[in-house]
Structures are given as C-alpha cells and as structure tokens.
Structure 1
Amino acid sequence: MSTHDRSAPDSALQFSVHGLAQQDLAQAQRTRSGRLKMLLVWLVCAAPVIASYFTYYVLRPQGRVNHGDLITPSRPMPADGRLALHDVQGRAVSVAALKGQWLLVSVAGGACAAECERHLYWQRQLREVLGKDKDRLDRVWLVNDGEPPRPAVLPGLSAPGSWVLQADREALSGWLVPAAGQALSAHLYLVDPRGDWMMRWPADADPADIKKDLLRLMKANNSWDEAGR
C-alpha cells in the first residue's frame, strides 16, 4: 500500500473528529443563546415589579420610613395543588385568579373573632381610601381552620374586589409567616400582582401608616400596573 493510501483513513478520521467538534460547539452556542433569551424574557417580565420596589425602598427621600416589614426575598404563592383554595360555596378557586392584583390579606378562622372583624374593617376602609387606585387592590380573607365563615360578617364581603377563601392550613403557614411571638392572624399581609408575598404590617400597626405605605406603593408602580380586573 502506498503512503498516500495509508494516509487516507487518517484524513477521514480527522475530518470526522473536526466535524463532531464543530457540531458540539454549535450545540453549545445554541444552548447559551437559548438560556440568554430565557433570562432576558424573565428580566422583562420582572422588571416592572423590581423597578417599583427599587423606587419605593431605594430612591425614596431621606426621612421617609415604610411602616410594613419588607419580605426579602419575596415568597411566591403556593401552587393550586398545595394551597387548595375554595370559596364559601365550596368551589375550587385557582391561584391564578388572584394574580394581576395587589392583595391585602388577612388570615383567621371561620368564627372571625374581634381581631378578625377589625382586620376585615381595615381592609375595606384601606381599599376605599386609595380612591382611583382602589381597583388595583383586592382584599382577601383566608380562612385557615376549615370552618365555614360566620354568616354575620359575610354581607360586607360581597362587593367586587373581595375574596373569602378557605385555604390549606399547612400550605398557608409555609407561605405567610408572622413576626416572632405573634399568631398568623395578628397581621395584615401584602401580596404583589405576581402572587409574591412582599410585606407584613406589625400586629399593632396604625391603619394610617398602612394607608401611607399603600399609597406610596401605588404611586411607585403606577407607570406599569394595570387599572384592575
């Protein structure tokens, strides 16, 4: 066999190896490109909420203090299979139905004692004082003990923008967390339009202070948030 004949298989092998290397390189480039595109899409979707938080908590004038506790990182609402939401008629309610709005949330058992009634009243009043922005905020009572809501408190919760929902106690406790030494029912909680819990007001919060926080947040995200459902 001539020298030329012996070198032919080696050349073919080198060509094959080179071709495979080029394919691997192209595949790696496509993978990096796909990941970059996914990251850009995520940034575009998250940018409005991030911007409103940045405006509210970083670019605020000196001396302005938020009264609620910022939850960092924010905590996403549990999925349907875990939170298991049901309305007062026992119909299943999807987690997705709550998204797209700011949510002012209270948690209490169905008997709704004095603290619960006070929170329901504050929720109603705080939504009203937002004026033209009130349709961007829904008030939500999450019943966490499986008991039916006391009928006497339901008439005030039939207006648009109001939710009374049974929620799985364990899943709820894994999402919303009270301050040290407090019960879950002691606070009002704020959930952003993505469904992320992002603020908790102290148990002894003044409703006037909660109002100030809400007004500032509505103003901070006014450029991107929708008018309401």
Structure 2
Amino acid sequence: MNPQAAKLRRSRLTLVLLGALFIGPLIAAWVLYSNGMRPTLTTNYGELVLPTQPLPKLELRNVGGEPLPELLTGRWSLVQLGTETCDAACSDRLVLGRQTRLALGAAGINKDRLQLVYIVPDAAAATAAAAQLSETHKILHIVADVGPAGQRAEDVFKPSDRQALYLIDPNGNWLMVYKDQADADKLQRGLLDDLKKLLKLSSIG
C-alpha cells in the first residue's frame, strides 16, 4: 500500500475514534434526555425534585392562630410533616434536623440561614404538638396547615414516606427530598454535605 495513502487512512481512523470518544456520549446523553431519562449519578445526597417546583401559597398558621404567609421564603427550610403526636421515629427525625443545623454552625456557616418547620394538619394538632415538642425543640416552627383540600402540604409533597424531610430554598422552591433509611448517621452526613454546598454557593437566604 502507498505509504501516503496508509498515513491518510490512519489519520481518518484516528478522527473517527476521537469523534466516537468525545461526540458519542453527548449524542447518547441527548437521546436519553429527549426520551425522558435523567442522569441518576449526582453529587448531592438528597433526591432532586425535577423540575424544581415552586410551592403554592400554603395557608399556615402558628399555634396562636396567626397566619404565616411568608414562612417558607426568605430562608432555607427543612420541612417535616407530622401529626398531633410525634412518635419515636418522628422525634428521631426532628433531632436529626436540629443536629444538622448545629453542625452547620460548627462548620462556620450561619445556622440561622436554615429553619426547621413541622407542619401538622390543623390547629388542634398544632396545640398538641407544641405541648409535646416545644421544650425540647425550642427553635422548631410548629404550624397548622389550614388550607382547603387539594391545596395543603400533603397534596404538594404527596408523602410516600412519613419520615421524609423536604428542603425548600429561600425563594420558596422545593429542591430535594430526604427519605427515611436505616442508617440515620449516613442520612445526616448526606444532608449536612448538601446543605454546606448549597449555603456556601447561595447568596440568598
């Protein structure tokens, strides 16, 4: 074979291989994305909500009955849904949230940028929850959801896991959900890592 022709052939083969190496994955990703598939390997621990969902205006009231229309804006919020009685699993999740907030402070991040919110179904449940939890969880916002059916926190989050935690950004967007799991320490480390990244990168809240 002509040496010049052989060299040209090798050059073309190299070009084809480079194209397959660098362009192929982009084409594959585009095809998968176009067919509704999303990447599952991310650097965050929580489950991303895709697309990010702006929360509707929930009708939340404090234990005294005062409306709190802006509660879930202005700061990062870690939300837990509850009832009038917080059992052992519920209490463990509240403790996890409190410890995570303290760990943010220990990491040099203003822990007041994160608030802990416990949403219960009605005013009576809020009163009962406050009687049980206020002494041990002094910074916890215990609020009643008094909105109409179909427009309540339960309708937004549609919890399949009663111990799940929901992360809301300062603009009122639901970003992530953290579901219950056997390894609570792993959950707390993952939640803390996510929050440290988010709060360091974010200039809001």
1:120 is matched with 94
Q: Give the whole-Å Cα distance in 1 for the aligned partners of 2:71 and 2:153.
A: 17
1:214 is matched with 195
Structure 1 unaligned segments of length 5 or more: list them. 1-62
Give the length in aligned residue pairs: 152
> Which structure has the greater CA radius of gyration?
1
The runs of at least 4 aligned residues of structure 1 exceeding 2 Å deviation read 156-159
Secondary structure at the aligned position of 2:200 is classed as helix
Q: CA deviation at 1:149?
A: 3.1
1:89 is matched with 64
Q: Percent identity?
A: 30
Is structure 2 residue 153 aligned with structure 1 residue 172? yes
TM-score by length of 1: 0.60
Quick one: which of 83, 106, 112 aligns to 1:109? Answer: 83
1:155 is matched with 135
TM-score by length of 2: 0.67
2:56 is matched with 78
1:67 is matched with 45
Distance 1:64 1:85, change over 3 A: closer
Q: Give the whole-Å Cα distance in 1 for the aligned partners of 2:71 and 2:133.
A: 23
1:135 is matched with 112
Give 1 or 2: higher helix fraction: 1
Q: Give the whole-Å Cα distance in 2 for the aligned partners of 1:97 and 1:103.
A: 9
Structure 2 unaligned segments of length 5 or more: list them. 1-40
2:167 is matched with 190
Q: Give the whole-Å Cα distance in 2 for the aligned partners of 1:97 and 1:143.
A: 14
